[in-house]
Amino acid sequence: MHPTARTVMLSVPLAALAMACPAHAMIVLGNGQSVSMADIFASGSDRKVMIDDKIFTFESIRSSVFSTSQFQVVGFISAGTNQYGLHNVGFDITGPFGDGTPGDGTYHEMNLQYSVEVAPEFYARDVRLCDVELVFNGSAGGPGSIASVDETVWDLDANRFLGNLRAYDYAGDEQETQLNDYANFCEIYGVHGYRAFEINKDIKFFANTPNSFSTASFVRQEFSQIMAPAPGAIALLAAAGMIGARRRR
């Protein structure tokens, strides 16, 4: 069991710390292109970012220690495609994550709530979401220190809880490290795809003693996708136990 330290209450929206800027249309990012988190949450922004065929709506971001001006959202589009000819799509959050006051007994924490949806023109062509992958490069040192990302995923349309993902580096009596996690909700629930997910992501860093550390420089969220089978084929796929099957990268 991991020891629990006192957590800083997430009561101050990071958006309030961002400088105001004029309203703008949806931000479009290609692979490797970036936008400041401060711009996404600036006054007048619609908080929408399109990456390939996915629309991300950044609903809220809260922290008492981090500023949006410190972080970038970087588009990610996989070089290769799967058997459906579709890319994996997502984004990185990059910046100086970490516990900046080691030994003070508090977490340095960021909470991000957002949705991801298949753009309407691609949804009309039967493109569907299936899985969620979480990766980060967290590192912790000193007994009791931890760097972690915990996230909860819902089916946005049905308002249905789907599952949790977790990545972490924990410096206990023995180092425990899991820097990525993955869930294919098509396979778990035997469905042939989702239009949109709602995701709450909690990013935490705790350096237990003055000589400890807890840091990261990026957190990645990645989604793969499928082409939904034609209605007449769904029953055949179900009978064959193939609904939700897909090839990983």
pLDDT at 40 over 60: yes
Residue 212 lies in a domain: yes
Buried b (16+ CB within 10 A) or exposed e, 119-155: eeebbeeebbbbbbbbbbebbbbbebbbbbbbbebbb
**What pLDDT score does 1 carry?**
37
In a domain, 246, yes or no: no
Q: CA-to-CA distance for 243 and 228, rounded, in angstroms?
A: 9
What is the CA angle 80-241-82, rounded to 5?
5
- At residue 233, the pLDDT reads 42
pLDDT band at 141 (very low <50, low <70, confident <90, very high): very high
> Which segments of 190-242 does DSSP mark as H helices, in order?
231-239
User: Does some domain include residue 210?
Assistant: yes
For residue 247, being part of any structural domain is answered with no
Structural domain contains residue 244? no
Spell out the residues 6+ positions from residue 4 whose beta carbon is closer than 8 angstroms to its own: none
Token pair listed for 223? 């989604």
Name residues whose C-beta falls within 8 Å of residue 32's C-beta, 6 or more positions apart in sequence.
Answer: 74, 75, 76
Other CB atoms closer than 10 Å to residue 167's CB: what's the count? 24
Residue 9 in any domain: the answer is no
How many whole angstroms separate alpha carbon 202 and alpha carbon 118?
Answer: 23
Share of the chain above pLDDT 90, in %: 79
**Structurally, how many domains does the chain consist of?**
1
Domain ranges, residue 232: 14-239
The mean of the pLDDT values for the chain is 87
- At 25, is the pLDDT very low, low, confident or very high (cuts 50, 70, 90)? confident
Closest-CA residue to 88 (of 155, 31, 28, 27): 31
Task: Read off the tokens for 142.
Answer: 């000193």
- Confirm whether 67 is domain-assigned: yes
pLDDT digits (tens, 9 = 90+) for 43-95: 999 999 999 999 999 999 999 999 999 999 999 999 999 999 999 999 999 99
Distance CA(246)–CA(249), nearest Å, equals 9
Residue 15 pLDDT: 36
How many angstroms separate the CA atoms of 46 and 40, rounded?
8
**Residue 69 three-state SS:** helix
* Residue 121, domain member (yes or no): yes
What's the pTM? 0.82
Q: Give the pLDDT band (50/70/90) at residue 230.
A: low
